[in-house]
C-alpha cells in the first residue's frame, strides 16, 4: 500500500495537480474536483465553487469518510462521491473528477453500453482504465448517486457519470491523473472515429492488460 500523506505534503500536491489540469485545458471555470486520503483517515478536497486554476493550499477542505465537513472552506458539493469511492476502495488514496470536454461529450451520447461506455481502443486505455461503467444521470451534488457510486466502485476504479464526466480513483494522485487523462484521450479518439470501422482490442487482448491500481 502507498504510504499515507501528511497534511502539508498533500496540500502542495493537490494544488500543484489542480493547476496542471486547469492550465492544460482538462477542466474549466469552477468545474472538477480532486481529493486525497490523509494518514489520519480524513479526506482533503478542493472546495466548492473553486477554480482548479486558482485554488490555494489554505482553501482546501477536510471531511471524514462519511463526507462530513470537518474544517477548511466548504467542500465540493460532490464530496459524498469522493467518500463513496474511498469507502469502496480501501487502497485508494486519490480521486479525480473532471468535466473534460471529450469524456463529457461521450457521456451525452445515446446508446452507450452502461456496463462499458468506451471500447478499449488502445493498450494504455486497457491498462489504466479497463472497463468504464456509465452511471445514470443525477444532478450535480445529488447524494442519491452515492450508494450506486459506492457499489460500482467496489469493482471499477473509473466510472463515467451520464451528462456529467469521469471519476477515477487510484493509489496515488499521479496514477489517478494519468488514468483520467488516458480516458479523455480515448474519448477523443472514439469521437474522431465515429462513422469509421474500428478495430478495438479483443477481449483476450484487453484481459491481459487489466488495471492494477486500486
Contact between 149 and 135 (Cβ < 8 Å): yes
- Let me know the angle formed at the C-alpha of 195 by 136 and 200, rounded to the nearest 5 degrees: 70
User: Is there a catalytic annotation at residue 124?
Assistant: yes
The catalytic residue among 78, 150, 182, 184 is 78
Handedness of CA 130, 16, 8, 46 (dihedral sign): negative
Contact between 81 and 151 (Cβ < 8 Å): no
The catalytic residue among 57, 124, 146, 185 is 124
Q: How far apart are CA 83 and CA 37, in angstroms?
A: 9
Q: How far apart are CA 77 and CA 123, in angstroms?
A: 34
Q: Which residues are catalytic?
A: 78, 124
Amino acid at each position: 500500500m502507498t504510504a499515507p500523506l501528511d497534511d502539508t505534503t498533500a496540500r502542495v500536491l493537490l494544488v500543484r495537480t489542480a493547476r496542471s489540469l486547469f492550465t492544460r485545458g482538462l477542466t474549466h471555470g469552477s468545474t472538477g474536483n480532486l481529493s486525497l486520503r490523509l494518514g489520519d483517515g480524513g479526506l482533503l478536497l478542493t472546495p466548492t465553487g473553486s477554480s482548479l486554476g486558482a485554488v490555494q493550499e489554505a482553501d482546501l477542505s477536510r471531511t471524514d469518510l462519511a463526507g462530513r465537513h470537518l474544517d477548511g472552506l466548504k467542500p465540493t458539493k460532490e464530496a459524498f462521491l469522493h467518500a463513496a469511492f474511498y469507502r469502496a476502495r480501501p487502497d485508494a488514496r486519490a480521486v479525480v473528477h473532471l468535466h473534460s470536454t471529450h469524456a463529457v461529450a461521450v457521456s451525452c451520447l445515446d446508446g452507450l453500453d452502461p456496463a462499458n461506455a468506451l471500447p478499449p481502443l488502445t493498450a494504455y486505455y486497457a491498462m489504466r482504465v479497463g472497463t468504464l461503467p456509465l452511471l445514470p444521470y443525477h444532478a450535480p451534488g445529488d447524494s442519491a448517486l452515492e450508494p450506486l457510486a459506492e457499489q460500482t466502485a467496489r469493482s471499477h476504479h473509473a466510472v463515467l457519470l451520464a451528462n456529467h464526466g469521469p471519476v477515477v480513483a487510484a493509489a496515488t494522485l499521479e496514477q489517478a491523473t494519468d488514468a483520467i487523462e488516458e480516458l479523455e484521450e480515448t474519448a477523443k479518439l472514439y469521437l474522431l472515429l465515429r462513422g469509421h470501422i474500428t478495430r478495438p482490442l479483443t477481449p483476450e487482448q484487453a484481459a491481459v492488460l487489466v488495471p492494477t491500481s486500486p
